[in-house]
Amino acid sequence: MNFTILRFDSIESTNSEALRQAKLGADEGLCIIANEQTKGRGRHGRVWNSEKNAGLYFSIILRPKIEIRFLPLLTLMSAVAVTDVLRQTFGLNPDIKWANDIHVNEKKICGILAEAIETKKGLAVIVGIGINLKSSNFPPEFAESATSIGAETNKIPNLEKLLENLTAKFANYYEIFKSENGAEKIRQQWTRRSSYAFGKEVRAVLTNETVYGKTCGIEENGALRIQTENREIKIIQAGEVEMLRKIP
C-alpha cells in the first residue's frame, strides 16, 4: 500500500476530511493527520477528546475489494495493528475491547471508527484511529477511564515514529486481510489479542434489550457471540459491551 500523508494543524475531524476526500476521488492510502480535532468523533456520535498535540489523530482511505459482509472486520484488523505497535514500540500490554477500543490496564488508550461511503470510484471505507499520547489535558470525566502512552511509560512518545510503525503494521495486516482466507486470518489474530474473545463476563446494551452472559468467540463478520445463563447464543452486531466486575 502506498501512503500519502495530508497534515493539518487543526481540523474538525480527520474522518470527516477523509470522507470528503474519498468523495472527490482520493486514492486508497490517503492519510489525514491532525495535531488537533475540534469535533473529533467516536462511535454512536460521541465526541473523542482531541486536544492539540495530545494524541495521534489519523484517518486512512481504503477501497477494499472484499465481500461486503466482511467490512466490519476492518475495525478488528485495525485494532490488531494498533495493539502490535503499542506492544512492540512501547512495551505495553494492550487488550482489545470488542469491537473498537484498545485498553491498557483496563483504561482506554485508543479508539477506532470505521465508516463506509459510496463514491464515484466505488465503495470507500474510512478508518479513523485516535491514540492518546499524553494525559495532561484529559477532562475530569475521562481521568478514571482513559490512559495514554505517556502515562503508561513515563516517556513522551515520538509521534513520527508512532506513525511510521502504525502505517507499516496497518499495511501488513491489510495485505493479509486481502489474501486467500484473509478474513479468517484476521479473526485469528484478533482472538489472540483480546481477552473479550472467550469467557469474559459482559453486559451488552443493545437498542431493544440488554444481554448478560459470557463471550464465546466471534462470527465470520466479527460480530461478538455471547452465551447467556440459559445457554442461548446471542450475536452482537453492534452495541455497548462492558465487562462485568465481580463484587469482592
Q: Sketch the domain layout of the chain as residue ranges.
A: 4-192, 198-243
Cell of 7: 497534515
Grid coordinates belonging to 221: 463478520
CATH classification number, 198-243, choose in 2.60.40.1260, 3.30.565.10, 2.30.30.100, 3.40.50.2300 = 2.30.30.100
For residue 10 the three cell numbers come to 487543526
Helix, strand or coil, per DSSP, at residue 9: coil
How far apart CA 160 and CA 131 sit, in angstroms, is: 13
Asked whether 24 and 6 are in contact (CB, 8 A), the reply is no
Whole-angstrom Cα distance, residue 83 to residue 172?
A: 13
Written as nine digits, the cell of 227 is 452465551
CA 12/CA 248 separation, integer angstroms: 44
**Which bin fits 122, alpha (ψ -120 to 50), beta or left (φ > 0)?**
left
**Which CATH superfamily groups domain 4-192?**
Bira Bifunctional Protein; Domain 2 (3.30.930.10)
Under the phi-then-psi rule, with left for phi > 0, alpha for psi from -120 to 50, and beta for the rest, what region is 192?
A: alpha
pLDDT at 37: 87
Which strand (E) or helix (H) includes residue 30? strand 30-34
Q: What b/e sequence results for 79-112 when a residue is b if at least 16 CB atoms lie within 10 Å of its CB, and e otherwise? A: bbbbbbbbeebbebebbbbbbbbbbbeebbbbbb
Q: Identify the CA nearest to 127 among candidates 238, 23, 19.
A: 19
C-alpha cell at 9: 494543524
The pLDDT, as a whole number, for residue 153 is: 95
Averaged pLDDT in 10-residue chunks for the chain of 248 residues: 94 94 97 88 58 89 94 97 97 95 95 95 96 79 85 92 96 96 97 96 92 96 95 93 72
Asked if 25 and 120 count as a contact pair (C-beta separation under 8 A), the reply is yes
- Residue 248: the pLDDT is 45
Q: Is 135 helix (H, G, I), strand (E, B) or coil?
A: coil
189-222 per-residue burial string, b: 16 or more CB within 10 A, e: under 16: bbbebbebbeebebebeeeeeebebebeebeebb
